[in-house]
């Protein structure tokens, strides 16, 4: 069974092949190649939709199977690709936020889903007073990973509240003890100075 890394590598390989198709100089060959890929996508999409219909016809048990398919990382991504995932993007994002919430709280952060609009996800993070830049980067990476896994079909991701945190608890020596002897630092230039 493929894991997330294998799936991401496959997606990168597919992305590379798509770029190669786009670079084909002969427009007829490029169009035929794109047509072939689209025909395969249409065939697979129709077959997957029929499979889900047959499973759903099994009633409650079938719906449980569809729900399980939607929770499997690999199957979920394929269902999203074909527009067949049993949950909409907002539901998937909300569940992903809930999954990482306790992990973020341990780092002194709270996360809130501000909204999902046409695939654009907006999150707000409230950080504690002791949150440093490295923690902010970890929080950002955690949220980005959770969103990409739950909603690879998103159009954009905006995370508010992580801007410009200091990189660490490091404080420059001159900030602690003042400027070195003899060095004058002008913070506010006098009025009228050019």
Please return the burial class of 39, using the count of CB atoms within 10 Å of its CB with bins 0-12, 13-18 and 19+: exposed
Q: Are residues 124 and 67 in the same domain?
A: no
Domain count, the chain: 2
pLDDT along the chain (194 residues), means of 10: 66 86 93 92 94 95 94 87 92 94 89 93 84 76 90 90 57 45 41 48
- Asked if residue 59 and residue 115 are part of one domain, the reply reads no
pLDDT at 18: 87
Structure confidence at residue 132 (pLDDT): 62
Instruction: Tell me the whole-structure pTM to 2 decimals.
Output: 0.66
pLDDT, position 24? 92
Beta strand pairing status for 156-160 and 109-117?
Answer: unpaired
- Residues 11 and 58 grouped into a single domain: yes
CB distance 109 to 102 below 8 Å: no
Q: Write out 8-35 in H/E/C secondary structure.
A: HHHHHHHHHHHHHHHCCCCHHHHHHHHH
Instruction: Classify residue 180: in a domain, yes or no.
Output: no
């Amino acid at each position: 069974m493929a894991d997330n890394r294998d799936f991401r590598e496959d997606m990168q390989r597919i992305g590379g092949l798509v770029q190669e198709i786009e670079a084909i100089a002969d427009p007829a060959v490029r169009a035929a190649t794109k047509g072939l890929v689209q025909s395969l996508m249409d065939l697979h999409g129709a077959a997957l939709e029929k499979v889900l219909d047959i499973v759903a016809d099994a009633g409650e048990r079938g719906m449980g199977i569809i729900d399980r398919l939607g929770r499997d990382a690999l199957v979920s991504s394929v269902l999203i690709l074909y527009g067949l995932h049993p949950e909409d993007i907002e539901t998937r994002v909300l569940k992903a936020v809930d999954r990482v919430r306790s992990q973020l709280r341990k780092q002194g952060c709270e996360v809130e889903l501000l909204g999902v609009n046409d695939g654009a996800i907006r999150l707000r993070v409230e950080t504690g007073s002791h949150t440093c830049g490295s923690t902010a980067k970890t929080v950002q990476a955690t949220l980005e990973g959770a969103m990409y896994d739950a909603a690879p079909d998103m159009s954009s991701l905006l995370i508010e509240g992580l801007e410009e945190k200091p990189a660490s608890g490091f404080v420059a020596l001159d900030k602690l003890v003042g400027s070195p002897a003899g060095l004058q630092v002008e913070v506010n230039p006098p009025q009228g100075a050019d």
